[in-house]
Structure formats: C-alpha cells, structure tokens
C-alpha cells in the first residue's frame, strides 16, 4: 500500500481535500492547462514551420528534375540510421527529402541537418505517415524523386514478439504503399533497408546472400515479406533495386553532429549500445544480458556489429552502382562475430564505467549466432567496413551521449 501524509496549504489558490491532496482553484488550473496547450501548439506550429521553410520558397527545385542533381527520398530520415544517411547524401551534394512521422525519429535530428544545409533546394522535411496512402501519393505527385532510400520501420526484435501486428503493418504494409507510389511515378532507383533477421538462425556461419531465409521473429518475417514484394515487382519493372541486409548497427557521426536517441519508453527494447550507455550514465541500475546458455564460446549471443558510418557508405555506393532492370542483394557487415560479453567489456572501456551486469534468461525471438560474409559487396560495390574497432565505435557514440544526455532535447 501507498500512504500519503496530509499536505498543508496556506496559498490563496488552493484548498486542502481529504487525504492530504490540494485542490487547484479554476484560475490556477486554467493556467496549468494553458501552458500545456501552449506547449503542444508550439510543437505543432514548429513542425508546420519546418515543412513550410523547407518547401515553400524552393518547391520548384524539389518538384522538377534537374540535370546533374539526384533527388533522393529518405523515408525515416529523422531516425538513427536515416538521419546519418541523409547527412552523408547532403555532404555528397544530393538533394534530399526526408519523410518521417516522428514516432521513432527525432525532430532534433532534422533541425541539425537543416542548420548544416540551409541552402534552398538542398533539404526538405515532410511530416507524414507512410501508412497514409493519400499523403504518400501527394508527396510523390509534388516531388520529382530520382531514388528512394526506404529506412522507415519499427525495428526491435523483442517488441515485434509482443506486438507482431504493429510490425506487419508498419514494415510490410507501409512498404507496399511506398512501392505502389514508386511504380506509379516511375522512380528509377530503390534502395531497401533490410536486415539479417530475415535469415533467422542459419545452420552455417558466416551468412552469405544465398543462405536460406527462415526468420524466427515477426520483425524478420515482416522484412522478408517486404523483400518478396519488391523482388516480385522488379521482375516486370525497369527500376534498379538494391536490398541491403545489415547486421547490428552501432556508433554515430564521428564529428558529433548526430547520434542515437531512442524514445525513453523504448529503452527496454533498444540496441545493446543504448542499454550500455544508459547503465554507464546511471539512467538504469545496470545492464541486463538476456541469455547465457547459447551454444557459443561464452554462452551469450554472437553478433556482427557494423558502424553506422560504414553502413551509410554502403547505401551511397549501392545508390551509385544500381542499374536499371537489375536487383542487387547484399549483406552489410564486418564479417566478424562478437559475443555480448565481449561487447559489454568494450563498452566498459569506452565509457570508463564499471557497469553492473545482470544475467537473465533468454529473450523470445533471439538467435544464438549471426555474422556476415561481406565478400559479395566487396566484389560488386568495392565496399568494406573501415570502422571495425568495437571500442572505438563505442567511444565515438559515448561522446555524443555524454554531450546529449537527454537526446536532441539537450541541444
């Protein structure tokens, strides 16, 4: 039971009620409600302002094709990976449109990008949900896209086992909406952000692109369904398609402009790096490692950790190399597996904090060992991971985390 001590109040705007709770007079209550309404209104107005600022004066630049300029739609571009991809594209002189409903993304990341690239015709942000077919059609009708990088997706294995319908709707259904718009408007290139989760738990390691896809959780299943739709469509299309199946993403922008800032309510489902950093900062009491009885060297899961800077470099190379009427499918990883225990030790060194670790039973939907064979992407796209030192990648990410303890709200 909870017990409350009786509150005493001598203020003119409150009266004590039974149980020790104060009652706010209408005037006081209206002031509080007014502040809440004002805060919500300002947020909505700011989103409208960003849309207007990005598109009003330079709408013709985004709505027409321009020789020598490639216009890329980045779905989910306010998210962790999507924002880093948008940054790289902008640095490489691409024209970028970000579409995001901000359910998982951060408006702060968009503001950072707009501050770095304020020139007209470089970047626009559109607040929209890809599940809204009319909104998506309007976006494609009003813009001349040369390519689409489709990142937008919910992406937590654990959450997908708890709420599978959300994943099939957000990943599979929304990808269909995007694909239909791409087909109607004859967009030339599609780069699809997929995952190693489509492979499930293969019998042999490392994973190659022809390894059978037998996903074991709704996240992987939803992504595979989306892949299948894209592959079926491509058989009778001139569109160039690249499907990138990447592994566990870590790190952040080396120059400290962007980082990973998941919603607080999603911490329990998030990446292990975020969980380590939360423990190091004292946000949580420690780190929970789920599963110590897997058939691996130390009993914990083995994963292939890919730095986000390398990952977006692979996307840009895929965009450059994509050819009409061709489909490229590539694993994007380092080719080396690291156990969760190894990861935790690297995180302790990167943060300088002796993180408390609790070992718990397995999490539903997880698999023992997954790492890539990246030889195909090296051969075809001349890409290989450069940032392969696990501790160094975590040190870069940790610097951003310390500077932004409340995510982009710290800026």
Residue-wise pLDDT for 206-235, tens only, equals: 999 999 999 999 999 999 999 999 999 999
pLDDT at 46: 66
* H or E element in which residue 339 lies: strand 338-339
Q: Quick check: is 18 in a domain?
A: no
Rounded distance, CA 344 to CA 252, Å?
Answer: 18
- Read off the tokens for 119: 């020139």
Average pLDDT of the chain is 89
Rounded distance, CA 348 to CA 295, Å?
Answer: 25
Q: Quick check: is 268 in a domain?
A: yes
Distance of CA 387 to the CA centre of its chain: 19
Which among 156, 168, 192, 219 is annotated as catalytic?
219
pLDDT at 55: 45
Domain harbouring 257, CATH code? 3.40.50.720
pLDDT at 366: 85
The position carrying tokens 């946000």 is 283
Domain containing 280 equals 71-403
pLDDT at 365: 79
Least confident of 83-97, 154-168, 253-267, 290-304: 253-267
Taken in order 39, 41, 44, 48, the sign of the CA dihedral is negative
Rounded distance, CA 171 to CA 165, Å?
Answer: 10
Three-state DSSP at 241 gives: strand
pLDDT at 330: 98
Beta-strand ranges (E) seen in 7-144 are 14-16, 22-24, 71-75, 95-100, 123-127
Output the furthest CA–CA distance in the chain (Å, rounded): 77
Q: 219 an active-site residue?
A: yes
Q: What is the pLDDT of residues 47-75, one digit of tens each?
A: 665 555 544 444 579 999 999 999 999 99
Q: Does the pTM exceed 0.75? A: yes
Q: Quick check: is 52 in a domain?
A: no
Q: Quick check: is 178 in a domain?
A: yes
Q: Which residues pair with 282 in a beta bridge?
A: none
Question: DSSP code of 362?
Answer: P
Mean pLDDT of 345-369: 93
Rounded to 10 degrees, the C-alpha dihedral 165/166/171/172 comes to: 30
Task: Give the orientation angle of helix 308-321 with respect to helix 80-91, to 10 degrees.
Answer: 60
Burial of residue 22 (CB within 10 Å: 0-12, 13-18, 19+) is middle
Question: For residue 21, is pLDDT > 70?
Answer: no
Res. 34 pLDDT band, cuts 50 70 90: low
Q: Quick check: is 16 in a domain?
A: no
CB atoms within 10 A of CB 228: 13
Question: For residue 16, is pLDDT > 80?
Answer: no
pLDDT at 323: 98
Q: Quick check: is 263 in a domain?
A: yes
Q: Quick check: is 21 in a domain?
A: no
Q: What is the pLDDT of residues 273-304, one digit of tens each?
A: 999 999 999 999 999 999 999 999 999 999 99
pLDDT at 20: 36
Task: Domain count for the chain, please give it.
Answer: 1
Q: Quick check: is 349 in a domain?
A: yes
Higher pLDDT, 193 or 40: 193
């Amino acid at each position: 039971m909870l017990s409350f001590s009786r509150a005493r109040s001598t203020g003119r705007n409150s009266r004590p009620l039974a149980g020790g709770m104060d009652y706010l007079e209408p005037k006081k209550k209206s002031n509080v409600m007014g502040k809440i309404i004002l805060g919500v209104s300002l947020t909505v107005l700011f989103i409208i302002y960003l849309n207007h600022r990005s598109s009003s004066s330079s709408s013709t630049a985004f709505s027409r094709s321009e020789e020598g300029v490639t216009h890329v739609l980045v779905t989910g571009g306010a998210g962790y990976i999507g924002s880093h991809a948008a940054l790289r594209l902008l640095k490489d002189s691409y024209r970028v449109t970000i579409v995001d409903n901000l359910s998982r993304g951060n408006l702060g990341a968009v503001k950072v990008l707009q501050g770095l690239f304020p020139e007209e015709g470089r970047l626009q942000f559109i607040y929209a949900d890809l599940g809204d077919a009319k909104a998506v059609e309007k976006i494609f009708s009003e813009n001349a896209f040369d390519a689409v990088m489709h990142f937008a997706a919910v992406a937590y294995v654990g959450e997908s086992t708890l709420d599978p319908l959300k994943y099939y709707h957000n990943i599979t259904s929304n990808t269909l909406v995007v694909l239909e718009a791409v087909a109607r408007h004859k967009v030339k290139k599609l780069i699809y952000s997929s995952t190693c989760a489509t492979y499930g738990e293969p019998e042999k390691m490392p994973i190659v692109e022809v390894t059978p896809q037998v996903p074991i959780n709704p996240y992987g299943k939803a992504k595979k369904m989306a892949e299948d739709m894209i592959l079926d469509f491509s058989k009778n299309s001139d569109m160039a398609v690249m499907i990138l199946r990447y592994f566990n993403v870590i790190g952040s922008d080396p120059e400290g402009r962007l980082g990973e800032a998941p919603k607080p309510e999603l911490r329990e489902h998030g990446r292990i790096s975020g969980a380590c950093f939360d423990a190091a900062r004292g946000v949580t009491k420690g780190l929970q490692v789920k599963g110590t009885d897997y058939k691996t060297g130390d009993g914990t899961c083995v994963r292939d950790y890919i730095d986000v800077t390398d990952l977006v470099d692979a996307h840009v190379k895929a965009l450059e190399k994509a050819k009409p009427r061709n489909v490229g499918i590539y694993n994007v990883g380092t080719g080396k597996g690291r156990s969760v225990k190894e990861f935790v030790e690297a995180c302790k060194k990167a943060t300088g904090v002796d993180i408390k670790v609790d070992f718990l039973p397995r999490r539903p939907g997880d698999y023992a060992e997954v790492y890539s064979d990246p030889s195909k992407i090296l051969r075809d796209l001349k890409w290989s991971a450069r940032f392969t030192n696990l501790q160094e990648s975590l040190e870069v990410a940790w610097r951003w985390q310390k500077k932004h303890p409340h995510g982009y709200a710290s800026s």
